[in-house]
Amino acid sequence: HLDCFQALFLFEFRQLNLITRFLTPSELLFDLYLSPESDHDAVFQYLEKNADQVLLIFDGLDEALQPMGPDGPGPVLTLFSDLCHGTLLPGCRVMATSRPGKLPACLPAEAAMVHMLGFDGPRVEEYVNHFFSAQPSREGALVELQTNGRLRSLCAVPALCQVACLCLHHLLPDHAPGQSVALLPTRTQLYMQMVLALSPPGHLPTTSLLDLGEVALRGLETGKVIFYAKDITPPLIAFGATHSLLTSFCIRTGPGHQQTGYAFTHLSLQEFLAALHLMASPKVNKDTLTQYVTLHSRWVQRTKARLCLSDHLPTFLAGLASCTCRPFLSHLAQDNEDCVGAKQAAVVQVLKKLATRKLTGPKVVELCHCVDETQEPELASLTAQSLPYQLPFHNFPLTCTDLATLTNILEHREAPIHLDFDGCPLEPHCPEALVGCGQIENLSFKSRKCGDAFAEALSKSLPTMGRLQMLGLAGSKITARGISHLVKALPLCPQLEEVSFRDNQLSDQVVLNIVEVLPHLPRLRKLDLSSNSICVSTLLCLARVAVTCPTVRTLQAREADLIFLLSPPTEKTAELQRAPDLQESDGQRKGAQSRSLTLRLQKCQLQVHDVEALIALLQEGPHLEEVDLSGNQLEDEGCRLMAEAASQLHIARKLDLSDNGLSVAGVHCVLRAVSACWTLAELHISLQHKTVVFMFAQEPEEQKGPQERTAFLDSLMLQMPSKLPLSSRRMRLTHCGLQAKHLEQLCKALGGSCHLGHLHLDFSGNALGDEGAAQLAQLLPGLGALQSLNLSENGLSLDAVLGLAQCFSTLQWLFHLDISFESQHILLRGDKTGRDIWATGSLPDFPAAAEFLGFRQRCIPRSLCLSECPLEPPSLTRLCATLKDCPGPLELQLSCEFLSDQSLETLLDCLPQLPQLSLLQLSQTGLSLKSPFLLANTLSLCPRVKKVDLRSLHHATLHFRSNEEEEGVCCGFTGCSLSQEHVESLCWLLSKCKDLSQVDLSANLLGDSGLRCLLECLPQVPISGLLDLSHNSVSQESALYLVETLPSCPRVREASVNLGSEQSFRIHFSREDQAGKTLRLSECSFRPEHVSRLATGLSQSLQLTELTLTQCCLGWKQLAILLSLVGRPAGLFSLRDSTRHTEKLSFPRLEACALGFKKKKKERKKVLEDTELRTKIN
């Protein structure tokens, strides 16, 4: 295409780097390139006018020297940048060549970048035809390249292709065909043969080669590729020119300034000669040598260019470390074989260390090149085994030679490996280098540079990879032609388990062509065709493939996603591996019939006519695990059609029609459509959240015969309720904007579902209001037996909420009504036991069932739980009036922030009107100090109350008798802040209760004065059981007063006081007067002044027969005094003392005291029949 340009100028940055001053375009064109014969200005003006026909080529942009300081780019890059941006010579075309990844910042962002590829097979053949003029030599060279795969891969680099042809030209006349495999196995040995070919026969100029290598190394170290006469001696220049190692050219740096420059014929030759010098020169020791064995990264760097001329130097050093090169190096080193061997071993040792490190992708490639060049099997094996299982290559260019080298290394690996090429520019024929690589288990490519030629090359390699399980080809620009090659190759890879063609811009027909291979891949588990923009008709064709292909388990399509999941049977896999083209056997057909298919076609723009086709398709297919059509455009009609077809499609788990434009009118149609579906377990419709989900249960068992059915019903009485069979269905119509006007139609639609099973109905989050609640209460009996009804968040007032209580009398299935008014939580529930008894209306016709249900009605309590509700007297009055006709037993649980005395009194006054009430509970409800008296008064007003329990003025519970014969009333007011001022009133109220068995006043504030007052009132209170006064902050005074009070309480049989940490104070009563009493005093800490008062009390309590003192701080002396002061008539009296101070209790002394006590009281005829002392050692 150069014919369209009138003027072409070629510049090399390696020469431009020598310019130190700023140039004008005219000076650049005429002083550095070609000077016109006359009139420079006229020529330049012509070029400016016709700039669009001027082409400037800059070679080696990566070699442009960057500025060392902050002053900006140098003169050459400044001129180059102005030309590129059109500041100078606007309109001209500028082309620059560079190695990948080393571009200066001055390059415009809009510059078009073209990746120059290496030689593919036809290009290599074309070059060979041009190189060899003679027909026999040309054919011989082509034969050598065809039989030598390594040499053929090296020829992908044009420079190496030239070197290979030069070596073949030298070798072919003197060697038998096929010798190139042994003589030209590596890049290094290719250059070595080239040096031998260019040298005189039988004579290798060692000194000149080493000296020229030293010049080459010095140039690499200083970034120098152009040399002058001062840099190279004349004999060395002559040697290099004679052997085609050096080229000479004219260097112009300005008008009249020109001189001769020298350069190696190729940069790689300069690197090879430098490596020769390092390995063979006696001036270089092995420590210096190993510093050059490094791995260069090849990451793409677009913001910072760098000059690196020794990319291949480590590769050449590794190649010269091969044993094959030792004779050549020894000759160069003047037969110093030991020195050469030591250097070779040092290079191999460095590579071994690098092989065991964790390296980035570019360095892995460089390492493979080095290791491959050494031809050391042990090193290659170490490198191959050290590579990670997941080996990624991201965002750097790779050549066919790179992949061929990687394949050579992987041949020494036993374990499988995953190769991931993401964003790497790859040559079209690169996949050919992977032929026969049996270690690759996962192979993926992601690059827009991969086209049809790449796919064709890949299709040739795939069948040769015996372990390949996963193939990924994403983000490419492959067309139908490239895919056709892959489709033909895939059936030849029966071991494939996953294939991905994501984001390849494939057409509809290409996608259909791909899925045709599914039956031919027996182990395939996943096929990913996402991001390929297919139409709806193609999607339906893919659904047909999913239905008909016996191994497909899931088809997932959602916007850009399109994925097949497969699960082939084991026996089918084995059979298809043996004979891929075999027809499906009977066993396979049986497996296909038993499989279940999941179909997800989400956000695919499906419409009503598409659904009709889909239903017809699915009816012919296997059982369906799940069908998800959410996010389409089905609207009411499409949803109705799918709902009607649900019972015929045998869906095992889920049907999702969410986000399909369903309206309130469509809800009725859907409900009617599913009324006959026996397997429907749950339907959730929420128009606000665009949710329409059907959940299914397993197919029901076949209907049993009449006799078996009757036997089952007659056995109901013998079964525990928890063992009864279950059958339930949930219909959730939440947040659908339903109003009262919709209810009648909804209930008609729901009527068909009630006979199929125990129905859970959820109307929460709608707008039914009071009118809807009242209307629903009238419609509910027509729906039959429900298991639950949720009316939460429907804007109900307090009157409407309380009115729901009447449902207890109209709905036999209702057993629990839970209401939280503020949060608008309203739930009507049936009894959880024996659910299936209500599943059909025919069961009560049988005697056994009817008897069971009657028993159930009488025994299982109903409960009303009302919380977060302002319980004012009118509301409570209405509530109790509503509950008056409720069948019992009934449990009423109320909760509010605070219940006034008036409200509590109103509630308690209504209790006699509720004979079926078994429990009244006020939980988490604040009550006043008057509440204990109101509750105590209830004991006499409502004889059915058997227990009152008030705790902390926040929790009150009233239990009611279910049988008039039950006796005993329990009363507890714990933690209610009762003090002395409350005792008299409370005792007066309690005294009106005829059958008071227990009173619990623990944890109050009675103190000594309050307890004294209570003990004074005690004879008036008819307690027949326990009085608990624990934790009331009492002292020894209360214990002493208890002893003094015992004579006035004849029904007390036992009293116990503990003033220690236990803080207990309990008095036990009997119904009749008790002849003997027991008193236990613990940790009372009596002082000496208390002994006489205690003795007086004991003397007056004639019924006291046993006194136990535990840790009361009474020593032997105080006990002796106590015994001496007690005056009692003849009879039994037992005294027990248990104390920690055992060393102060001398049993003989106490015994003597007791004897003295007997003598002193003899004249009063008072005998102490029994004095007993028990000592407890703690």
Sign of the alpha-carbon dihedral angle for 831, 833, 839, 841? negative
Closest among 400, 391, 389, 404 to 362, alpha carbons compared = 391
Q: What are phi and psi of 203, to 5 degrees?
A: -135, 120
pLDDT at 19: 79
What residues have CB less than 8 Å from 204, skipping those under 6 apart? Answer: 195, 196, 331, 332
Give ∠ CA 977-982-983 in degrees, rounded to 5.
110
What does each C-alpha distance from 616 to 155, 313, 543 come to in angstroms?
59, 69, 12
Query: Torsion-angle region of residue 482: left (phi > 0), alpha (psi -120 to 50) or beta?
Result: alpha
Whether 739 contacts 766, CB under 8 Å: yes
Sign of the alpha-carbon dihedral angle for 148, 149, 150, 156? positive
pLDDT at 924: 93
In DSSP notation, 1077-1129 reads: EEEEEES----THHHHHHHHHHHH-TTEEEEEEES----HHHHHHHHHH----
Tokens at residue 213, please? 């290598």
Whether 588 contacts 570, CB under 8 Å: no
What does the alpha-carbon distance between residue 486 and residue 466 come to, in Å, rounded to a whole number? 16
Whether 647 contacts 678, CB under 8 Å: yes
Query: Torsion-angle region of residue 155: left (phi > 0), alpha (psi -120 to 50) or beta?
Result: alpha
Tokens at residue 708, please? 């078996």
What does the alpha-carbon distance between residue 442 and residue 937 come to, in Å, rounded to a whole number? 85
Residues of the chain short of pLDDT 70, as ranges, are: 1, 65-73, 100-103, 175-176, 178-182, 254-256, 298-309, 569-593, 699-727, 752-757, 832-859, 964-966, 1128-1133, 1137-1178
Beta bridge partners of 921: 893, 957
What does the alpha-carbon distance between residue 1000 and residue 418 come to, in Å, rounded to a whole number? 78
Query: Would you tell me the crossing angle of helices 135-147 and 158-171 to the nearest 10 degrees?
Result: 120
Element (H or E) spanning 1134, and its range?
strand 1134-1138
- Domain spanning 927-1034, CATH class: alpha beta
- Which residue carries 């896999």 as its tokens? 573
Query: Would you tell me the crossing angle of helices 1147-1160 and 1116-1125 to the nearest 10 degrees?
Result: 20
Give ∠ CA 734-736-741 in degrees, rounded to 5.
115
In DSSP notation, 748-782 reads: HHHHHHHTTSEEEEE-TTS--HHHHHHHHHHHGGG
In DSSP notation, 778-802 reads: HHGGGG--EEEEE--SS---HHHHH
What does the alpha-carbon distance between residue 472 and residue 421 come to, in Å, rounded to a whole number? 10
pLDDT at 1155: 40
pLDDT at 115: 74
**What is the pairing mode between strands 246-254 and 257-264?**
antiparallel
Which stretches of 4-151 are assigned E, i.e. beta strand?
7-12, 54-59, 93-96
Closest among 1003, 1021, 1022 to 1013, alpha carbons compared = 1021
Q: Is the peptide bond before 889 cis (omega within 30 degrees of 0)?
A: yes
Which stretches of 283-428 are assigned E, i.e. beta strand?
390-394, 417-422
What residues have CB less than 8 Å from 238, skipping those under 6 apart? Answer: none
pLDDT at 1130: 53
* In the chain, domain spans: 2-96, 207-299+307-351, 389-525, 927-1034, 1035-1178
pLDDT at 902: 97
pLDDT at 296: 80
Does residue 851 sit in helix, strand or coil? helix
pLDDT at 725: 37
Q: Side chain identity at 600, as an amino acid letter?
A: R
Q: What are phi and psi of 578, to 5 degrees?
A: -75, -40
What residues have CB less than 8 Å from 378, skipping those under 6 apart? Answer: none
- Which residue carries 């036999």 as its tokens? 812
What does each C-alpha distance from 250 to 60, 215, 239, 265 come to in angstroms?
18, 20, 19, 15
CATH number belonging to domain 389-525: 3.80.10.10
How many CA atoms, within 13 angstroms, populate the side-chain half-sphere of residue 1139? 20
Same fold, 389-525 and 927-1034: yes
Closest among 502, 561, 507 to 535, alpha carbons compared = 507
Element (H or E) spanning 260, and its range?
strand 257-264
pLDDT digits (tens, 9 = 90+) for 432-477: 999 999 999 999 999 988 999 999 999 999 999 999 999 999 999 8
What does the alpha-carbon distance between residue 509 and residue 194 come to, in Å, rounded to a whole number? 53
End-to-end CA distance of the chain: 115
Whether 1013 contacts 983, CB under 8 Å: yes
pLDDT digits (tens, 9 = 90+) for 766-792: 999 999 999 999 999 888 888 899 999
Tokens at residue 998, please? 């227990």
Whether 744 contacts 776, CB under 8 Å: no
Which stretches of 292-408 are assigned E, i.e. beta strand?
390-394
What residues have CB less than 8 Å from 633, skipping those under 6 apart? Answer: 605, 606, 607, 660, 661
What does the alpha-carbon distance between residue 344 and residue 320 come to, in Å, rounded to a whole number? 7
What does each C-alpha distance from 651 to 288, 679, 758, 760, 956 come to in angstroms?
75, 9, 21, 21, 52
What does the alpha-carbon distance between residue 357 and residue 473 come to, in Å, rounded to a whole number? 30
Element (H or E) spanning 599, and its range?
strand 596-602
Burial (Cβ within 10 Å: 0-12, 13-18, ≥19) of residue 596: middle
pLDDT at 1170: 34
- Which residue carries 């002396």 as its tokens? 1117
Q: What are phi and psi of 324, to 5 degrees?
A: -65, -30
What does the alpha-carbon distance between residue 30 and residue 36 come to, in Å, rounded to a whole number? 7
Give ∠ CA 140-144-147 in degrees, rounded to 5.
135
Whether 494 contacts 524, CB under 8 Å: no
pLDDT at 859: 66
What does each C-alpha distance from 609 to 164, 641, 1031, 1161 come to in angstroms?
67, 10, 80, 117
Tokens at residue 674, please? 């599913």
Query: Would you tell me the crossing angle of helices 664-674 and 740-754 to the nearest 10 degrees?
Result: 10
